[in-house]
Amino acid sequence: MFRKVSANHPLVYFFLAFITMAGLSYINFLPGMVNALAGSIGFSDAQAGQLVALNGYGGLLGSTVAIFLVRRMPWQSAMYTFLALLAVVDIGTLWIETYSVMLGWRFLAGLFGGLCVGIGFSVLARLNNADRAFGTLLLIQFSLGAVVIYLLPALETLLSAYAVFYVMAGFALLSLIMMLFLPSLASERKPVKQSLLLTELNGNAVLLMLAITAYQLAASAIWTYVGRIGLGAGISTDNVSLYIAITGLLGLLGAMLPVISGNRFGRLSWVLAGVALSSISALLLSVSPLTPLLYVTSMTLLFFSWPAVQSYLLAVTADMDVTGRLSALAAVVSSVGLATGPLLASGLLDNGNFSVMLYACALVFFSCLFLLFKPVQAQERTKTGVLPPHYQPNTKDPI
């Protein structure tokens, strides 16, 4: 009834990226979700932040469990199950009014969503072009995030204050439909230099996981409060929403870099430039007085850099371990950063003053330069056939 798409078809990259995004889609429009929870739904600002954080830690648990599932059960059966459960939980949120019940309910949503994300990462990592796969994922995340943030006020008027949860459930249901057209994708990538990548680069893998965690932590901290920063600078609510939506769309250029260029020109220079621009973005937001021009410029730099840096780092992860398990681990550490960023930011606020938080984020971005340099450089040398001097090839290596 449903015609399967061939394994190398561009639609496979799009469908898989969309399905992976749907697991924790709220992250793409986090300010809109926080505004809804702390606005018409009736929770306080602190409660809204705690609900978002617990949703994120549920995702962390789900992504962790996915590491052990990816090689023990068919990924498609698991994805069908968890997407359906996620849609049910998101829709069920509409009838929950008690804060304590909502905490547990959103943690459950995060659990099912994290399972989808972890499994999705492992499958994306097994596609032939990892740069295109993860670039497509970030492209979808930023484009849909900008569109949803722009449309949420109208959707809330049309539906209710819970419109954001309708959107999240809709993404899960649409993902179920996309699953029907995907091939099995059992193991499409050949295990190139597997023994080298799994033994010689263990230390580099740790550094790379730390870099992904740190970058996501700083970026999500700014992302959580970027709307409040604009309001604190005297920019109107309507203009803040418009600026976030527009700069989010401009950030699609960063997401398109890995999709268009892939690994043809190397990854190291792109990643270093992106992290440096992210650090500059945090510093620009701390300038007082913050003008609309500085506000828009800083967000443009961050939203351009964020998808490019993450997709390239995830592509490096995919090349380090062709089984996909390291990519599932990357989903876990990414969730750690995304869930911890808002908590860190909230702890560094000082009566509406965001300067300390922004300086801390700039410092975290700067530390990423040292964490990622060695693993990305080593992976590029391996790709080009320049092996580490201590590497001794053996006959078991399929090279």
Domains of the chain: 10-383 (1.20.1250.20)
Ranked by mean pLDDT, which of 100-114, 140-154, 240-254 comes out on top? 100-114
Q: List the one residue out of 26, 20, 369 whose CA is nearest residue 167.
A: 26
pLDDT at 330 over 70: yes
1/83: higher pLDDT: 83
pLDDT at 167 over 90: yes
pLDDT band at 364 (very low <50, low <70, confident <90, very high): very high
Distance CA 336, CA 348 (A): 18
Kindly state the DSSP code that residue 97 receives in the 8-state scheme.
-
Q: What average pLDDT score do residues 353-360 get?
A: 89
- pLDDT greater than 70 at residue 126: yes
Given this model, what pLDDT does residue 186 score? 55
Per-chain mean pLDDT for the chain: 80
d(CA 211, CA 310): 10
pTM greater than 0.85: no
If DSSP codes are grouped into helix, strand and coil, which group holds residue 1?
Answer: coil
Cis peptide before 153 (omega within 30 of 0): no
CA distances, 70 to each of 24, 316, 327 (Å): 18, 19, 11
What is the share, in percent, of the chain residues with pLDDT greater than 70? 83
Query: Average pLDDT of 296-303?
Result: 90
Token pair of 42 as six digits? 């009736």
Residue 387 has a pLDDT of: 45
Rg of the Cα atoms in the chain? 20
pLDDT at 339 over 90: no
For the segment 119-143, the average pLDDT, to the nearest whole number, is 79
Nearest to 171 by CA among 96, 91, 270: 91
